[in-house]
Amino acid sequence: MPDSKPRVFITRTIPEKALKMIAAACEVIVWDAETPPPRPKLLDELALADGVVSMLTEKIDREALDAAPKLRIISNYAVGYDNVDIEAASERDIPVGNTPGVLTETTADQAFMLLLAAARRLPESIKYVKEGQWQTWFPLQMLGQEVSGATLGIIGLGRIGYAMTKRAKGFGMKFLYHGGSTIEYVERSGAKKVDLETLLTQSDFISIHAPLNDDTRGMIGAEELKLMKNTAILINTARGGVIQTDALLHALKNNIIASAALDVTDPEPLPSDHPLLALDNCIVVPHLGSATHQTRERMGEIAAENLLLGLRGEHLTHCVNPQVYQN
């Protein structure tokens, strides 16, 4: 690295260990608020930055990159990187790092928790008790969907999708999958590859684990929801944009599917008066898939490592655009 310390903009407070790793080698500017830096502030900081640690809430697009003449590394504090224009970063030879692996099990825990909570109507039953509606026991009270032995359709059988099947195996579930996978995950899970239509029509639960890109944006719309069983439950812990929100709202209101459990939404966050939030058959939580102390710390360490490697001009441990090293 040059004599003067490189300047790094970190777009939110990250766990202490990662912050210290970065501060030991860099001049650090942290946007110390829960909400993202306003766009003009982001652009002003990028104008001066050698490196940035960005969150999924920051759009690092062409405009942002044009404003960042010195930028040498984008270290995204997430496994997903749909917030970064990878093509534009690659054109400028800027490597983009992400944090895969360390949040796999944590996110699958969240997805499976949502599956169970939606199947057994957990938020509704808690509300029922708190609101004083619990008068007695009766056979048709708060009935949910059976999880044991049900068919789970996984959209995107990658690391997290496979981790979801490991949990579901304990419940005797059967698996279908659509989209990308590896032989290892297919063999270990025993999941059967099917086209999207078959997955939608045959699954009792559908869990989305695909990245958001041009192939998956809006892939679950009115037509797809209509194909699902009216007892089906849709879980999304990937990215909100994979589902068309208005179509989902319509499907939930009209009992086209039984319920949905969303860790991610489009838009994100949902405004507090959004009609989805008024529905009993929709669980929405605020994008907490990787939110444990341990996982967020490990993500911080990887993000810091990627950042420091990038600033030194060395290959990142986790680089989503390795083509930059060919130039």
The token duo for 323 is: 């083509």
Q: Is 86 in the site for ligand DGY (CB under 6 A)?
A: no
- H-type helices in 120-208, by residue range? 122-130, 159-169, 183-189, 196-202
What is Dmax (Cα atoms) for the chain?
A: 74
Contact letters for ligand DGY, residues 168-197 (x by CB under 6 A): ------------------------------
Query: Nearest distance from residue 288's CB to ligand DGY, in Å?
Result: 9
**CA 49 to CA 7: how far, in whole Å?**
5
Tell me: cis bond preceding 271? Omega within 30 of 0 counts. Answer: no
Q: Out of 46, 49, 52, 78, point to the residue binding ligand DGY (CB under 6 A).
A: 78
Angle, in degrees to the nearest 10, between helices 16-23 and 293-311: 10
Active site residues per annotation: 239, 268, 287
**CA 81 to CA 133: how far, in whole Å?**
45
Instruction: Specify the residue, 22 or 78, whose C-beta has the smaller distance to ligand DGY.
Output: 78
Query: Nearest distance from residue 168's CB to ligand DGY, in Å?
Result: 21
DSSP class of residue 223 equals H
Q: Out of 144, 289, 300, 310, point to the residue binding ligand DGY (CB under 6 A).
A: 289
Instruction: Specify the residue, 190 or 269, whose C-beta has the smaller distance to ligand DGY.
Output: 269
Q: Out of 68, 79, 155, 199, point to the residue binding ligand DGY (CB under 6 A).
A: 79
Query: Nearest distance from residue 202's CB to ligand DGY, in Å?
Result: 28
The token duo for 261 is: 């459990």
Q: Is 103 in the site for ligand DGY (CB under 6 A)?
A: yes
Pick the stretch among 57-65, 78-86, 140-148, 213-221 that binds ligand DGY (CB under 6 A).
78-86
The token duo for 287 is: 């994008």
Query: Nearest distance from residue 310's CB to ligand DGY, in Å?
Result: 18
Q: Out of 104, 259, 290, 321, point to the residue binding ligand DGY (CB under 6 A).
A: 290
Name the helix (H) or strand (E) containing 30: strand 27-30
The full DSSP string for 226-280 is HHS-TT-EEEE-S-GGGB-HHHHHHHHHTTSSSEEEESS-SSSSPPTT-GGGG-T
Query: Nearest distance from residue 292's CB to ligand DGY, in Å?
Result: 11
Q: Out of 14, 18, 22, 56, point to the residue binding ligand DGY (CB under 6 A).
A: 56
DSSP class of residue 5 equals P
Q: Is 80 in the site for ligand DGY (CB under 6 A)?
A: yes
Per CB under 6 A, residues contacting ligand DGY are 56, 78-80, 103, 289-290
